[in-house]
A and B are shown apart, each in its own frame.
Chain A
């Protein structure tokens, strides 16, 4: 059973084909990496799956039901979307920002209650942002910001997280942090699709990868099947530096102390 599935997804803007008949599947517990060069259609595909885009053609189903048939609130409770360059337009506190994740669960008049507070608290503990709760979001460092935004997404308690380049502009340690958080979500039964540029990072953390180029899927499968010499040459025009190329070289030689030690630092 697929949790989220797209079939024949196409997007055309001003006769420019951004996405062409792309299929995509996401299973429960799975962390799927969307990779490909700039302009490959990764963000468009992700926005289409999030229901943020009126696709030119194709169907998206969530839990085997047409995504369009969901009430926006219901859909919003199942899918959390992490936008590229996530920002806050007002200088709000981190805790308030995370609380916004409860939006789909509250009616227009409702204020967050005790359970909501607990969920927000948990999300902030999981992302190590509880100590930042009274800080103004815009004053945080890049890594702290991303963790807060992930906490916001986790506060939705979604089945699926769709994250658009969440590690862009982060230093290596913070990149690993973010990937660990997404992996935690999937280990706990959720699933996620994450757009990435860093191939070793993608190979290390993702169960499966989907390689896009010019709006088409070039390859999909476990990292070793996707990150082949041929595919990389075709899509990125890359050639191996040495003859002993194997997808093993995408293994990361390090990990965060947090995941190593088993407990988070608080």
Chain B
């Protein structure tokens, strides 16, 4: 009995947990502003950025480091939140934007928009492409795997759709008259938050906020889903509407984020998992916690790659994959053991 209760000893007060994670994210954003390829006097830069005429220091702070930190925070939050949403909705600990194809679908959508020259028509074309790609891929996986898909079926369907998206991305990039095609593929499949401007942040933001807004208020429904679809429906939850609303939310948020950063993997898988015990395994409580956790993870990863010696250009997605892939294997082994 004592060992069983010990399992949940890590559960924390929700308000406290949110405050701690929020503080962590804010600190990481600040740290992120202090770390770059070159040491700069940040306080002086801050002072200078309050003046009207831009200086080199203020530019590095506000045009390079700030968008980088903000994009990392919001993209990370999106991935963490959407991972928690999908795991809750599909009641499957391995569901995540990366595994069920949302991310690679979004990447394909964005690449298609760029390839067909639609990206310059209006600002929202790029994230819209990402959203459509994410929605299409997610629905395909969902239809392929079926409603009550087992973990294995879901992963297999995800593998198929991910490969298809990768193939289509490669095809488009190879057709494009660009010697950077191969590098672009790497960018889209691994993801990076570096070298963006505030423009990209503003492009990404509306979809991310809209998606998050669609998720909020559904925590109660995800909690009820813990007891299965019938029981949840008997408690007044409209599952059909919930499913569509959440798929749409994931498409909006992941589509927007990925169309700017590329498909950064494993944040959506790892973060909900690590934080779930802290919220007593309640899918609803996990949502805001996971969003903050995702932001923290991506910020940390992006800070870590900047600590490597200058000149080595490691993409943030490489690091999240290096951490995430072994974690994924561990999860598979754990679920396998649970099924035995």
Contacts and interface: CB of A to CB of B under 8 A. Distances in A.
A93 B8 contact: yes
B150 to A, nearest CB: 13
Nearest to B217: A108
Given A100-B226, A136-B7, A152-B227, A89 B91 contact: yes
A82 B7 CA distance: 27
Interface in A61-96: 71-73, 75-77, 79-83, 86-93, 96
B315 interface: no
Most buried by B among A79, A80, A108, A152: A108
Nearest to B91: A89
A56 interface: no
Contacts of A52: 230, 233-234
A81 B228 contact: no
> How many B residues are at the interface, by size bracket?
20 to 34
A104 interface: yes
A103 interface: yes
A51 to B, nearest CB: 8
Nearest to B235: A103
Most buried by B among A71, A77, A92, A135: A92
B282 interface: yes
A148 to B, nearest CB: 11
Interface in A129-156: 134-136, 139, 152, 156
B227 A72 contact: no
Interface residues of A, number: 38
Contact of B237 (A89, A103, A139): A103
A255 B277 CA distance: 41
Contacts of B236: 71-73, 75-77, 103-104
B238 interface: yes
Contacts of A72: 233, 236-238
B5 interface: yes
A232 B260 CA distance: 69
B289 to A, nearest CB: 14
Given A135-B5, A136-B4, A136-B8, A89 B226 contact: yes
B226 A90 contact: yes
A106 interface: yes
A83 B231 contact: yes
A88 B282 CA distance: 11
A97 interface: yes
Most buried by A among B230, B237, B276, B282: B230
Contacts of B91: 89-90
A134 B281 contact: no
B231 A93 contact: no
Nearest to B233: A52
A86 B231 CA distance: 8
B9 to A, nearest CB: 10
B229 to A, nearest CB: 9
Interface of A: 47, 50-52, 71-73, 75-77, 79-83, 86-93, 96-97, 100-101, 103-104, 106, 108-109, 134-136, 139, 152, 156
11 contacts: A77-B236, A79-B234, A87-B228, A90-B276, A91-B7, A91-B281, A92-B226, A92-B280, A101-B235, A103-B235, A108-B218
Given A72-B233, A89-B226, A90-B91, 6 more contacts: A77-B236, A80-B234, A83-B227, A93-B8, A100-B226, A103-B224
List the 4 closest pairs (A to B, CB-CB), nearest first.
A76-B236, A81-B234, A108-B217, A89-B91
